[in-house]
Amino acid sequence: MAVTAHDSSNEHVLEVESVGFSYGTKVALADISFRISAGETAFLLGPNGAGKSTLFSLICGLFQPQTGSVTVESHTATKPSALARLGIVFQSDTLDPDLSIADNLAYYAALHGFSSKDTNQRIQTVLQPMELADRKQEKVRTLNGGHRRRVDIARALMHNPRLLLLDEPTVGLDVPTRHALTQRLRSLAATQQCAVLWATHLVDEVTEDDRVLLMHQSQLHGDDIASALMSSHNVSSLSELMKLIIKKPNAEADS
Amino acid sequence: MNLLHAWRAFVGILKRELKRFVRQRERFIAALVRPLVWLVIFAAGFRAALGLSITEPYATYITYEIYVVPGLIGMIQLFNGMQSSLSMVYDQEMGSMRVLLTAPLPRWYLLLCKLAAGVVVSLLQIAAFLVFVALLDLDIPFQNIALALPALVLSGLMLGALGLLISSAIKQLENFAGVMNFVIFPMFFLSSALYPIWKMQESSDWLATLCVLNPFTHAIELIRFSLYGHFNGLALAVTTACTLVFFLAAIWSYNPARKFRANRTAAR
């Protein structure tokens, strides 16, 4: 399969160019390149262990690429100027369970340099669409998994990021909660006008019209609209496509 | 770096540390009871066993309780530094360290904020301890507390930086017990906190040498001298140098790629 670089005439918010990263001798990412424009949502689809989380760690500046470059609106990913443009929902829970929702958000706002007054307004603004504004004084420990995820997402949106990174945001949630959260995220992505990179291994979160970056075994095996990827592989669903990619060795998958 | 942004981030980190400290009542009680046990129980026994001669910075003979107060202040800071280290390891395990390290500020500054917030918490613990010291009617020059404050900040930074460095090397919370055995106890007992070094030398030259080489000894002497309005250049130099070395080493070792790689290996 030929990797087709998705093209967009808009300004690129995220540019990943020939990125490589290894854990010792184990290659985690090999020559990954793609771009995402403002207002665009791309799904990073791949099985567990494909390299999605490593790629996220590179984009949010936790790791430095060993080869290639990652830039956010032309700022190198590890620089504070790039981090200021990022909103991140990590795969694992990163909220302080013993602090209230408001305290968790205020801590994040302080790290982004907002004044107290501005912080209070922003907390209200981001919690409203999450239907959590009335519960902001509740401790995170008392929330269920779905509500915690909503707080995570609200926090990531507090500073109006240019790029929203969602690392398996629905993992560990039951099916109805997962579907509700997916719908909420889709509507947010449409209204926020920021670029969104959404990593998932759950094919039912992706529709045929979505842009998909297909990852497996440290490599990008495709970058196109889901329906186009399916037809180029002669499969009728994304789960079939995933099975096909997982089954085939790298060389075959790329051919 | 925008200074207003940097200041607000520090205030945010400090508020979080203070809220955590208030929430962990057991930590506060332990921080207070530990030195008080030494002061009230051990000191009562040691007073008879340990004779103290006139030694700098004291102008006259002093009781053992008075001698041991700066050492116990150091003990509070030592335990607080290691407690901060423990909370950093907890943050790493819980994932909240990622939130801190992806904040749009230089990593060294974020770690410095964590360190400074830990020092503020240690100063609150010391203030509470000194209230009890005052209640015990010990002849401590409380009027010199303001003079001793820079020394307390510096010693707090040194021990906090050491804690930071240790936390960068610890992969899992369970491994932290080793810190108690291999860092806190040797540092505390091989220092001038509980007995002057000349007293140690009467028993063993090499143990006395280890005490002199121990940075914690110099932190305590810095506190002791400043509390009595004296200047100890060597203690200041050693404590400052160790603070810088520990902090720079902590920044170098706080590389998430290295850390998470180690965690992956440990998890396998």
Nearest to A23 among B5, B12, B264 (CB): B264
Class of A1-85+163-172+194-249 in CATH? alpha beta
**CB of A200 closer than 8 Å to CB of A170:** yes
Kindly list the residues from chain B whose CB atom is less than 8 angstroms away from the CB atom of residue A99.
Answer: 16, 19
> Can you give the pLDDT at residue A104?
95
pLDDT bucket at A253, cuts 50 / 70 / 90: very low
pLDDT digits (tens, 9 = 90+) for A187-237: 877 777 789 999 988 888 898 999 999 999 899 989 999 999 999 989 988
Buried b (16+ CB within 10 A) or exposed e, B94-116: bebbbbbbbbbbebebbbbbbbb
- The span from the CA of B66 to the CA of B54, in Å, is 13
Tokens of A91: 């795969």
**CB of A218 closer than 8 Å to CB of A22:** no
CA distances from A20 to A254, B119, B201 (A): 18, 40, 58
Cross-chain residue pair A83–B96, CB shorter than 8 Å: no
pLDDT above 60: residue A2: no
Cross-chain residue pair A111–B12, CB shorter than 8 Å: yes
Cross-chain residue pair B12–A93, CB shorter than 8 Å: no
Percent of chain A whose predicted confidence (pLDDT) is above 70:
93
pLDDT digits (tens, 9 = 90+) for A130-169: 888 999 999 999 998 888 989 999 999 999 999 999 998 8
Nearest to A96 among B11, B96, B98 (CB): B96
β partners of residue A197: A42, A165
Kindly list the residues from chain A whose CB atom is less than 8 angstroms away from the CB atom of residue B4.
Answer: 113
Kindly list the residues from chain B whose CB atom is less than 8 angstroms away from the CB atom of residue A84.
Answer: 104
**Closest approach of B94 to chain A, Cα-based (Å):** 6
Kindly list the residues from chain B whose CB atom is less than 8 angstroms away from the CB atom of residue A57.
Answer: 256-257, 260
Cross-chain residue pair B102–A103, CB shorter than 8 Å: no
β partners of residue A45: A200, A214
Nearest to B106 among A57, A80, A108 (CB): A80
Query: B19: closest CA among B6, B28, B8?
Result: B28
Give the nearest chain B residue to A95 (CA atoms): B96
Nearest to B8 among A62, A93, A114 (CB): A114
Residue type for B148, please? A
> Can you give the pLDDT at residue B151?
96
Tokens of A249: 């060795």
Query: A17: closest CA among A29, A25, A2?
Result: A29
Cα A5 to chain centroid, rounded:
19
- The span from the CA of A192 to the CA of A153, in Å, is 12
SS3 category, A31: strand
For A187, other C-beta atoms within 10 Å of its C-beta total 11
pLDDT above 60: residue A3: no
**Closest approach of B190 to chain A, Cα-based (Å):** 37
| Burial class of residue B222, CB neighbours in 10 A (0-12, 13-18, 19+) | buried
Residue type for B216, please? F
Give the nearest chain B residue to A84 (CA atoms): B104
Best probe of the B interface among A62, A85, A100, A104, by most B CBs < 10 A, is A62
ipTM of model? 0.84
Q: Which residue has the higher pLDDT, A11 or A73?
A: A73
**Closest approach of B164 to chain A, Cα-based (Å):** 18
> Can you give the pLDDT at residue B268?
40
Best probe of the A interface among B88, B99, B263, by most A CBs < 10 A, is B99
Cite the DSSP H helix spans in B136-232.
145-169, 177-179, 185-189, 197-203, 205-213, 215-227
pLDDT tens digits in sequence order for chain B, 268 residues long: 789 999 999 999 999 989 888 887 787 888 888 889 888 888 777 776 665 666 777 777 778 888 899 999 999 999 988 888 888 877 777 778 889 989 999 989 999 999 999 999 999 999 999 999 999 888 888 888 999 999 999 999 999 999 888 888 776 666 667 776 788 889 999 999 888 888 888 888 999 999 999 999 999 999 999 999 999 999 999 999 999 999 999 888 877 665 555 444 444 4
Give the nearest chain B residue to A104 (CA atoms): B16
DSSP labels, A111-152: HTT--HHHHHHHHHHHHTTTT-GGGTTSBGGGS-HHHHHHHH
**Closest approach of A203 to chain B, Cα-based (Å):** 26
pLDDT digits (tens, 9 = 90+) for B232-253: 999 999 999 999 999 999 888 8
pLDDT digits (tens, 9 = 90+) for B74-131: 999 999 888 888 888 777 777 788 899 899 999 899 999 999 999 999 999 999 999 9
Q: Which residue has the higher pLDDT, A20 or B85?
A: A20
pLDDT bucket at A8, cuts 50 / 70 / 90: very low
Whose tokens are 């510096």? That residue is B154
> Can you give the pLDDT at residue B256?
65
Interfacial residues of B (vs A; Cβ cutoff 8 Å): 1-2, 4-6, 8-9, 11-13, 15-16, 19-20, 23, 94-96, 98-106, 110, 256-257, 260-261, 264
pLDDT bucket at A25, cuts 50 / 70 / 90: confident
Kindly list the residues from chain B whose CB atom is less than 8 angstroms away from the CB atom of residue A60.
Answer: 102
**Closest approach of A111 to chain B, Cα-based (Å):** 4
For A193, other C-beta atoms within 10 Å of its C-beta total 11
> Can you give the pLDDT at residue A254?
44
pLDDT bucket at A105, cuts 50 / 70 / 90: very high
Average pLDDT in chain A = 87
Average pLDDT score over residue span A5-24 = 78
Tokens of B103: 């904040």
Domain boundaries, chain A: 1-85+163-172+194-249, 91-160
Cross-chain residue pair B100–A111, CB shorter than 8 Å: yes
> Can you give the pLDDT at residue A129?
83
Give the nearest chain A residue to B19 (CA atoms): A99
